Each structure stands twice: as structure tokens, then as C-alpha cells.
Amino acid sequence: MNNQQRDSLKQLMKTRINEIEGFLSPTGDDSDPDDESASLDQKIASAVNSQVSQNEKRELALIRNNLQWLDSDDAGYCQRCGEEIPFARLQAVPATRLCIGCAERS
């Protein structure tokens, strides 16, 4: 990975972090804090949302870690086998630290 690729990955990760943070803390008028009037449908939707939030929070933590990883000597190398991870894969899945082969085996 050259410096240009590294910079573009960092930019991509920061954008993704902003997206997830915006998703996790909506500032719009959609959320209704009045739980007592919530219908069953709303409660189900809220449970699904909290499941989604868990995944998003996990991804957020992984990408934040990978942002620091990009500044280290191991940047871009598979955490398990040490092979260089293709740049396109890191672009597509910025939260990963595994090459495709290792990800499929895990």
C-alpha cells in the first residue's frame, strides 16, 4: 500500500465513522421519547434497531482501531497470516484486518 492509498483509506474510514456516529445518535425529529404510547410495532422496531446498533457500534470500534493501524508498520497486512491485504478489499471492508482467505476460514 502506498501513501496515496493509505490516505484515501483513512479518508474513507473517517467518512464511515461519521456515518455510523450520525446513525447511532440521530438528531432528527424521528425519535419519540414517549415510551408509554409506543405501539407494539414501534417496540419491535426499536428492538431491531438496538440489534443494528450493536453491529454498528462493533464496526465503529473496528474502524477506529484500523485507522490507527494504518499508521503502524503492520498496516495493510493480514492479522492472521501476514499476507498483504488487497487495497480493494480494505476499501470495500474497512473494518477488516484479515485477507479474504483468512476471513473465509474464520
- How far from the centroid of its chain's Cα atoms is residue 79's Cα? 17
Secondary structure (3-state) at 84 = strand
Q: Which of these segments, 6-14, 44-52, 65-73, 76-84, binds Zn ion (CB under 5 A)?
A: 76-84
Nearer to Zn ion, 12 or 103 (CB): 103
User: For Zn ion, which residue of 8, 80, 87, 89 counts as binding (CB under 5 A)?
Assistant: 80
Q: Which 8-37 residues touch Zn ion, going by CB under 5 A?
A: none
Nearer to Zn ion, 38 or 103 (CB): 103
Name the phi and psi angles at 84, rounded to 5. Answer: -70, 130
β-bridge mates for residue 84, sequence order: 77
Secondary structure (3-state) at 77 = strand
We find the least distance from the C-beta atom of residue 72 to Zn ion, in angstroms, to be 17
Nearer to Zn ion, 9 or 97 (CB): 97
Quickly list DSSP for 16-64: HHHHHHHHHS--SS-----GGG--HHHHHHHHHHHHHHHHHHHHHHHHH
Task: Tell me: does residue 74 bind Zn ion (CB under 5 A).
Answer: no
We find the least distance from the C-beta atom of residue 92 to Zn ion, in angstroms, to be 16
* Residues making contact with Zn ion (CB under 5 A): 78, 80-81, 99, 102
